[in-house]
Structure 1
Amino acid sequence: MFADLACATSPGSPGRPNEDLMIAGPSWAVVLDGATAAAGVDSGCAHDVPWLVAWLGGALAARLSTGAAAPLAAILEAAIADTAAAHGGGCDLGNPDSPSATVAMARIAGGRLEYLVLGDSPVLLATAGGGVRVVADDRLERLPGGRPYSLELVRRLRNAPGGFWVAAARPEAAAEAVTGAADLREVHAAGLCTDGITRLVDWYGWTWDDLAAALEERGPRAVIEAVRARESAQGPVRGKTHDDATAVWGRLTVP
């Protein structure tokens, strides 16, 4: 079980829905970050990104809350399949621009903290000896040619070998997630963040240790306020000025 769990989320713009989602139970937590559709892109789908995120989150919560012993990747695979089925026959799920989301998951089971990362929403493990271990999926940052990426390049390499993987309509994407586990005696807390939070590290000079310390000492809400302050003062490195930002921080119970 988590000894305690703190969560916060904030939309990037008051005029748009928050496409992030955080869900948690006594022994698990999930953070999803829906991929905002580019202007003029036809997703082939009757549903928007918040719909996809809500369905996927609900399917994950339904399985995790039962205490099922299946691996996290298997749980994600089944949740993606459930969500794909919920689209119905009117959506072109073969369209590579179909709504999608990144996934970060953590679960306490059998004296271990299990984790899964698919896409650019990392898991942070605060180690008992000090310091932070970052579990990340950086394939989006390693696409050929370097940023800025063209829409066609991203479209071609999304959920494709040699590209990057996200949760959309292909259940097999779950097998591409970064997964593992840590002994509960080796970690004292864990965090899950969307890339709206990790801007602090990627763009604004924080270290991962700085981020973990702020989550531990000041909490997720204060970290979101720190992101917003930097965005307003320095502007974005690329893209939108403010992104949806979500963070979860949980202290762990040592068995």
Structure 2
Amino acid sequence: MFAEIVCASRPGSGRPNEDLVIAGPSWIVVLDGATAAQGVASGCAHDVPWLVGRLGGALAAGLSADHDAPPAEILEAAIETTMAAHSGTCDLDNPDSPSSTVAMVRSSRNGVEYLVLGDSPVVFSLEGGGVRVESDDRLDRLPGGRPYTVELVRRMRNAPGGFWVAGSRPEAARQARCGVVADARGVGALTDGVSRLVEWYGWSWRDLVAALDGKGPEAVIAAVRELERRRPPAHGKRHDDATAAWTRV
């Protein structure tokens, strides 16, 4: 079981928040829905918050019902459940169908299990003072470098040699980065709206862990927003949806 779990989430604009954080006594899940590029037809009658909400609900049910199933199996079943909820109304073969990253942690007998799919990392504070980061950087390693074209992202999403997200391909769950950390003292799950503190604004992962542990997720998100106001990002959204969850182990 985890100790007290604290979390916060803020939208990046006047649009609905496409992030989601859910938690139970022994698990945390953070999702970051992928905003569709302007003018791209997703083939889906539902928006991204719908997809994220359905996927999150299915993950919560799976994590609550089966404490021993591997996280990737739980995610695969959750994607299948979500697909079934809109298989009669939407074109699930459309590569631009709504999707989401997944950052999941779960307390176990051997330590803290993690699953990362897409660019929402998990960060651990370790016994002895170290920090460990588990991330999925495949989106950052697409050919040609950023900014990516819409066509490149469409072609490389959920494809060998590309990057993987949770949407309408259950097999994507088998591509998640999974493992166990035996010596965790604390653990956080983040969307990239928070991890930009490290990637863009010069914080170290140690700085971020210390802020999560000492001040909490709400203060960390406030720090993101202040930096974005003072020094807007060179590319991407000025203010992205930002979500963080933290617990001591």
Q: After TM superposition, list the pairs within 5 Å mapping 1:225-240 onto structure 2.
A: 225-240=222-237
Give the secondary-structure state (helix, strand or coil) at the position aligned to 2:162: coil
- Whether 1:222 aligns to 2:216 is no
- Classify the secondary structure of the residue corresponding to 1:2: coil
Superposition deviation, residue 95 in structure 1: 0.6
> Structure 1, residues 136-186: CA drift from partner, whole Å, max 9, x if none?
000000000111111100000000000000000010000000000011xx1
d(CA) in 1 for partners of 2:178, 2:184: 16
**1:192-203 paired onto structure 2 within 5 Å:** 192-203=189-200
1:126 aligns to what SS in structure 2?
A: strand
Tell whether 2:32 aligns with 1:33. Answer: yes
TM-score, normalising length: structure 1: 0.96
- Per-residue CA distance 1:228-253 (angstroms, 9 max, x = gap): 0000000012121100000000000x
Moved more, 136-145 or 233-242: 233-242
Match of 1:104 in 2: 103
- How many positions carry a matched residue from both structures? 249
- Give the distance between the partners of 2:178 and 2:2, measured in 1 at CA: 20
Q: 1:187 aligns with which of 160, 179, 184?
A: 184
Q: Which structure 1 residue ranges, 4+ long, deviate > 3 Å from structure 2?
A: none
Q: Give distance in 2, aligned partners of 1:10 and 1:58.
A: 20
Listed one character per residue, the Cα deviations across residues 190-225 of structure 1 (whole Å, up to 9, x for unaligned) are 000000001101110001111111101110000000
Q: Equivalences for 1:1-255 in 2 at 5 Å?
A: 1-13=1-13, 15-183=14-182, 186-252=183-249
Distance in 2 (alpha carbons) for counterparts of 1:147 and 1:3: 40
Other structure's SS at 1:206 match = coil
Amino acid at match of 2:28: A
Q: Which amino acid aligns with 1:127?
A: L
SS in structure 1 opposite 2:12?
Answer: coil
Native 8 Å contact 2:115 2:178 kept in 1: yes
CA displacement at 1:111 relative to structure 2: 3.5
Structure-1 separation of matches of 2:217 and 2:151? 35
The answer (yes or no) to whether the contact 2:110–2:180 under 8 Å persists in 1 is no
The percent of aligned pairs where both chains have the same amino acid is 67
Matches of 1:88 and 1:117, distance apart in 2: 26
Equivalent residues of 2:101, 2:119 under 8 A apart: yes
What secondary structure does 2:67 align onto?
coil
Q: 5+ residue gaps in structure 2? A: none
Question: Aligned partners of 1:86 and 1:58: how far apart in 2?
Answer: 12
Q: Which amino acid aligns with 1:60?
A: L
After TM superposition, the structure 1 stretch with the greater mean CA deviation from structure 2, 189-198 or 86-95, is 86-95
Unpaired runs of 5+ residues, structure 1, are: none
> Which AA in structure 1 matches 2:22?
I
Deviations 1:37-73 (A, max 9, x none): 1100000110110000000000000111124311000
Quick one: distance in 1 between partners of 2:34 and 2:234?
18
Cα distance in 2, alignment partners of residues 127 and 68 from structure 1: 24
Matches of 1:158 and 1:67, distance apart in 2: 30
Question: Which amino acid in the other structure matches residue 4 of structure 1?
Answer: E
Aligned-partner Cα distance in 2 for 1:40–1:198:
28
Q: RMSD of the alignment, in Å?
A: 0.7
The answer as to whether partners of 2:126 and 2:185 remain within 8 angstroms in 1 is yes
TM-score where L is the length of structure 2: 0.99
